[in-house]
Structure 1
């Protein structure tokens, strides 16, 4: 008899496709789809634990908002098969953004163009400050 593999106390769900439709006009979406945007800042979460990736993302969002940036490129790595334990950051990042203290500053989240990392990266469009 083969020993049963221990089940972890958590489960993976596939990363949802970003569907945050924000206040973007079609021009923004077309430019992002064609890779015709230049991010103001790039944040790479490769090599981070879930905790350190969350802290890094939170800090970067705060800095980007304070600097009145519009477009952040977030490199998460690709979502992978649940068995490998990889892709956990990619699976968690949309929930993190939705519950972030900076959620009100985020206009939209989109998959990145292949030249910016494709499925392993996201564009985070920040709202323009009023006033």
Structure 2
């Protein structure tokens, strides 16, 4: 046998608040809103609260400007990299690292590369292969999926202009060409 909980009665303040909220609600078909409770007489010893309404609407919060999308690496640069007439300025190999280790290594590498004036770097993530155990929790190719997300983060917008999948001789889908922004004050 289940015991029924006794419902407590709403105070007059709670009923007034609910009536204020429900004022803008359209009742379901066949139902009616409860009547708005009468304001309660307050003893004269307690001063009535004064509500000051602003004369103008409050200022809207200033929206942050939207981040501009990353630009792809230029077609001429990609062709030169594929033909071997242009080389990458630096390489970092992340595969085999744990996610947090790779994250810090990538951020540090990109900042150092930008500081030294490098323009195109190669980030090797590895392709991730089929899982040796068929467990649902054995995830493969995590860095391959995560590095593009990291490169799009607002913290790297001052460093990264854009990125593209590398050509097969540089790792193909297991690597990315990353174009770096020129550092401020350089040049």
Instruction: Settle same-fold status: TM greater than 0.5.
Output: yes
In structure 2, the residue matched to 1:39 is 88
Compared CA separation, residues 20 and 30, structure 1 to 2 (3 A): farther
TM-score, with normalisation over the residues of structure 1? 0.72
Matches within 5 A, 1:1-131: 20-22=70-72, 24-80=73-129, 83=136, 84-99=138-153, 101-129=155-183, 131=187
**Structure 1 stretch displaced more, 24-33 or 93-102:** 24-33
Compared CA separation, residues 90 and 25, structure 1 to 2 (3 A): closer
How many positions carry a matched residue from both structures?
Answer: 112
Describe the SS at the equivalent of 1:122: strand
Describe the SS at the equivalent of 2:123: strand
Q: 2:82 and 2:154 mapped to 1: Cα distance?
A: 25
Higher strand share: 1
Q: Which is greater in Rg? A: 2
Higher helix share: 1
| Structure 2 residue runs without a partner (length 5+) | 1-68
Contact kept, 8 Å, 1:35 with 1:116, in 2: the verdict is no
Describe the SS at the equivalent of 2:155: coil
TM-score, with normalisation over the residues of structure 2? 0.53
Q: 1:21 and 1:79 mapped to 2: Cα distance?
A: 26
Higher relative contact order (CA 8 A, sep 6+): 1
Q: 2:74 and 2:102 mapped to 1: Cα distance?
A: 30
Describe the SS at the equivalent of 1:108: strand
Runs of 4 or more consecutive aligned structure 1 residues displaced over 6 Å after TM superposition: none
Describe the SS at the equivalent of 2:95: coil
